[in-house]
Structures are given as structure tokens and as C-alpha cells.
Amino acid sequence: WAKAEGKARWVAYDPDRNAREVARFTLSARMPAAVESEEFYVDYQPIVRLSDGVLTGVEALVRWAHPEFGRLGPDRFIGLAEETGLIVPLGRWVLRQAVDQSRRWHDRYGDRAPMISVNLAARQTEEPDLVADVSTIIGAAGLPPSSIQLELTESAIMGTTGGPLRTLRELADLGIRIAIDDFGTGYSNLAYLRHLPVHAIKLAGSFMEGVGSLHPDAHSDETIVSTLVALSHALGHEVIAEGVEDSSQADRLREIGCDSAQGWLFAKAGPPEDVERLLDEQLFTAAVRQRR
């Protein structure tokens, strides 16, 4: 078919690009069946309170166990799912997994069950049924709404008006926590921030490079982070730092007054059993502390 479009087409032919497009097509064609047949699964990454190191939350991160291509990360298919609209059923599926997991953790750990944070695509806030869906799923599990947090990226949330903004307000009114993901990477209208029904701000991992570092260029990252922490606190929002990879970053974030952190320093995203091992160890630590 390329030939039919004439010579120019042959000149423009780019095998890499072609391969990428075939891969995109193959993935998006399979996705509906994959949602049905549960080829997707959810990993959980711990969120740790910096004042005492307690695991207080986890982020649910979807993965695809593709029969041919193996395990695929969300960067390979979330964009596609947003383009095709499949993010709506996929996102609902992820939420249901997270809620089921939260139910099991509440049964096992009671009040110590970690809050579960679920990513929400902008496309999902345009769904008229979203609030009813979320409320039904959480209600059916008999969970307090505050056990679930919904994360929207800064670019998805900023400039949200009309229906989607009303949707966020309704979700917040139900008692569900709303967080802004990757904060600081998008177009930030700080004045707009105070009109949003937001509980937490997640500081983008890209700022962490200079935090706790002795390199002279690092100072600006720390200035940005401490300013964003102060601003968020002034607006009554909790702050979670993302992409924390070493202990000097965690130490500095604690000094700055950042509430919580998430990153490879603490744990990578993994199956629920990994989180349970950490929670069980903490129970043990608490028991030891009490005995002293």
C-alpha cells in the first residue's frame, strides 16, 4: 500500500516507526480482550510517613502480563488506552482490584491497613457514571471512603472545569481523598489550586535529584521542594514526595517538613505479599518497642 502512494512514501519509510506503529496497533487491538481475560494485574508501591517510617499507604500501579510480549509497564499501554477510551473499563477494573485488596487488608490489619491510592485518567472524569461507580464499588466493600485516594496528574487536573470539576467535588464530598500526581511538572496555576477539592500533593520525582545533595547546583531543587511543601501546607494539603531513591533525600525531605515519601529507597512496586511482609515486620517492630 505504501507503493500506491508513490515514491515519496518509500523515501519517508522509517522501519523503526513502522515497527512502533505495528506494536501500538497490536497492543490496542488486544486490549479489550485483555481486560476481559484479566491479563492485567496490579502491583502496589509503599508510601511511608517520614516522621516515623510507618507504611501508611500504597499506590496501585497496573501492569499487563501480555501472552507474547511478557510484562508490560503502564507507559506502554496507558496512553493507548486513553486514546481508545479503554481506560474507562480498565480504570474501573483497577479500582475494583484496589478496593478488594483494601477489604482484605482491613480484615487483616484493621486501622493499620494502608490507604490505597489509585491513578485516575482525565478521560475517566468525563464519564457521567464515575461518581456512582466509585461510590458503589467502595460501598459494596463496606470500606470507609477515606481508605481510597484518587490521583490525577497536574496536567489532567489543572484547567478542569464544568462536568469533570463537579465530578471531583462529588468524589471529595463522598469522603474519597483526591491527590495531584507529578506536581510541579505541568502548567501550574497556583491560584487555581485553592479552588480544587484536593487532599494531597505528590511532588514529581524529577525534583528529588538535587534534594539532600551537596552539589552546588542542587540548591534550586531544594528551594523548589521546600517552597511547594510550604505552599501545600498553607493550603491544607498533605505532601508526598515521589521517586525518593536514597536516604539523604529522605533525611532532607523530613527536615523540610514533607509528610510522606514513595520510592525505591523504601520499596519498588510489587505484589500485595511484599506489602504484607513490610506491614508484618512493622507489627513486630512495634511489639518490640512496647516490650522495652
Contact footprint for Mg ion (CB under 5 A): 119, 151, 181-182, 242
Is 225 near ligand C2E (CB under 6 A)? no
Using the minimum distance from each CB to ligand C2E, give the nearer residue, 94 or 115.
Answer: 94
Query: How much is the CA Rg of the chain, to the nearest whole Å?
Result: 21
Residue 287 C-beta: closest distance to Mg ion, Å: 33
Using the minimum distance from each CB to Mg ion, give the nearer residue, 50 or 58.
Answer: 58
What does the alpha-carbon distance between residue 219 and residue 222 come to, in Å, rounded to a whole number? 5
Residue 200 C-beta: closest distance to ligand C2E, Å: 13
- Which of Mg ion, ligand C2E, none sits in contact with 259, Cβ below 5 to 8 A by type? none
Using the minimum distance from each CB to ligand C2E, give the nearer residue, 94 or 113.
Answer: 94
Within residues 85-114, the interface with ligand C2E by CB under 6 A covers 87, 91, 94
Q: Which residue has the cell 515519601?
A: 261
Is 74 near ligand C2E (CB under 6 A)? yes
What does the alpha-carbon distance between residue 225 and residue 62 come to, in Å, rounded to a whole number? 28
Neighbouring C-beta atoms of residue 83, cutoff 10 Å: 12
Is 147 near ligand C2E (CB under 6 A)? no
Q: Which residue has the cell 509497564?
A: 73
- Ordered alpha helix ranges (H), 37-153: 74-84, 87-109, 122-125, 130-140
Using the minimum distance from each CB to ligand C2E, give the nearer residue, 12 or 159.
Answer: 159
Using the minimum distance from each CB to ligand C2E, give the nearer residue, 181 or 222.
Answer: 181
Q: Which residues contact 227 (CB under 8 A, 6 or more apart)?
A: none
- Which of ligand C2E, Mg ion, none sits in contact with 284, Cβ below 5 to 8 A by type? none
CA distances from 258 to 70, 123, 179, 252 (A): 37, 30, 15, 9
Residue 136 C-beta: closest distance to Mg ion, Å: 23
Size of the site for ligand C2E (CB under 6 A): 22
Residue 5 C-beta: closest distance to ligand C2E, Å: 36
Q: Which residues contact 17 (CB under 8 A, 6 or more apart)?
A: none
Find the distance separating the first CA and the last CA of the chain, reported in whole Å. Answer: 77
Is 62 near ligand C2E (CB under 6 A)? yes
- Ordered alpha helix ranges (H), 141-266: 154-157, 162-173, 190-193, 219-234, 247-256
Interface with ligand C2E (CB under 6 A): 45, 61-62, 73-75, 78, 87, 91, 94, 119, 121, 181-182, 205, 242-245, 263-264, 269
